[in-house]
Chains A and B, each alone.
Chain A
Amino acid sequence: MIAIENVHKQFGTLHVLKGVDLSVQKGEVLSMIGGSGSGKSTMLMCINGLEGIQQGRITVDGVEVHAKATDLNKLRRRIGIVFQQWNAFPHLTVLENVTLAPRKVLGKSREEAEAIAIEQLSHVGLKEKLAVFPSRLSGGQQQRMAIARALAMSPDYMLFDEVTSALDPQLVGEVLDTMRMLSKEGMTMIVVTHEMRFAREVSDRVAFFREGRIHEIGSPEQIFENPQKPETAAFLKSI
């Protein structure tokens, strides 16, 4: 379980998160929607400790993310993250991109790591591209590779930060399909997204972020069909 309690985050004088409370259960798919600057991506970066917080507490399965004694490298093994800019390692082949962390972080042998990588890459439909460098892949393929790279660590949680925002429209579908598949397999996912249809269809709950807080949270039916707050309705209408 991921528990977020009263989290505040500031970049200098900019108050980005103003007291977020949220918990995500194992197996749940939670979507975060909201305008840009509403704090949803920042929230995601705080969950795996890529960003620090000024107040509050985030715990992942009881481990406090921002406690001094917490070994973040160890915690991050269990939290996969995929970014908007897919961040392929350009100097490594697709296979090496995926085997690097299992080998260097989990200490798996090359054979073991490759077996896992091939399994994950087949899973996202990139089995034919093992020896290829990322520059030869389309954006959608690079993004699916990034998903396979995170999955190769067998994480308990997957975080997705606007993973389709930088993609050409015709490539969005393949990435969303991959995420749909993951949710069906029971992966716990937190998805920051602008793809409302996807959020509606895949999520167990949807959180609407506004001005650094969760303004409304509920089932997709509630948020999309019967929003309780006028701002939620206004946001959904605007996009």
Chain B
Amino acid sequence: MDYEFQWRPVLRSLPEMLWGALQTIEIAGLAMMLGTVLAIFLALAKRSGKKYLSLPADMWIETARNTPALFQIYMLYFGLGSLGLQVGSYTALLLGITFNNAGYLAETFRGGFAAVPETQTRAARSLGLGAVQTQWHIVIPQMLRAVFHAMTNQMVWSVLMSSLGVIVGLTTDLTGVTQELNVVTYRTFEYFFVAACLYYLISKAFTLSARVVAWRLFRY
């Protein structure tokens, strides 16, 4: 068994892979943003103490956290399809990661909300701010600070999870592009090694930019 490494094909297709990487960044970033917004609602629903709100939120959170992400993406792709709602592989992946992100982040946020003292809400309400304004201007910003590091981890997880798009036939993200090139060239190791390096760089880039954002936002 001797395998000769050949890096030239990989280098030649590097531009394609970088385009794929861009789509990976796009999917992970979008899924993170959507997931964050949904997670805020899920966490609030769980805190509301109203069964008809907390029960669905609980089901979402429990499913997202206790089943494989792969299954979640599959369910969205084939499950929605069988219900007559055809979604493309890009959408299925995006929704799948969003679903997963929202579930994990909701639990994180719940802890974050508990870290904001009740007296902050009282002070805000006594100034005449409404319930929604109080959440938006006072509670959520402080909650997000409390959970910022956990969010950074989820962001990285979101990038790595996006590689699962290949199972629903996505060919345009980093893993998809790599897989396409692999089946043509059979330079499996070389391609996936470079892809892994790119994933590493994307993850690091997100972590570092999160640090910059935190530094800008949380001066207090």
Contacts and interface: CB of A to CB of B under 8 A. Distances in A.
Contacts of B137: 100, 104
A76 interface: yes
Interface residues of B, number: 20
A89 B125 contact: no
B130 A83 contact: no
- Most chain A CB within 10 A, of B122, B142, B145, B220, is at B220
A137 to B, nearest CB: 11
Contacts of B125: 50, 73, 76
Interface in A4-34: none
A83 B126 CA distance: 10
Contacts of A48: 126
19 contacts: A50-B122, A73-B130, A81-B126, A83-B119, A83-B122, A89-B120, A89-B124, A90-B220, A100-B127, A100-B129, A100-B137, A101-B127, A104-B129, A104-B137, A105-B129, A134-B220, A146-B123, A150-B127, A153-B127
Contacts of B123: 83, 87, 89, 146
Nearest to B119: A87
A150 B123 CA distance: 10
Interface in B86-136: 119-120, 122-130, 133
A101 B129 contact: yes
Q: Which 9 A-B pairs have the closest CB atoms?
A: A87-B123, A133-B220, A101-B127, A105-B128, A76-B128, A77-B128, A81-B126, A91-B141, A73-B128
Contacts of A149: 127
- Most chain A CB within 10 A, of B122, B123, B128, B138, is at B128
Given A83-B122, A91-B145, 18 more contacts: A50-B122, A73-B128, A73-B130, A76-B126, A76-B127, A76-B128, A87-B120, A87-B122, A89-B120, A89-B124, A89-B138, A90-B142, A91-B142, A91-B220, A92-B220, A101-B127, A104-B133, A105-B129
A101 B130 CA distance: 10
A79 B127 CA distance: 8
Contacts of B142: 90-91
A222 interface: no
A52 B34 CA distance: 38
Contacts of A133: 219-220
A219 interface: no
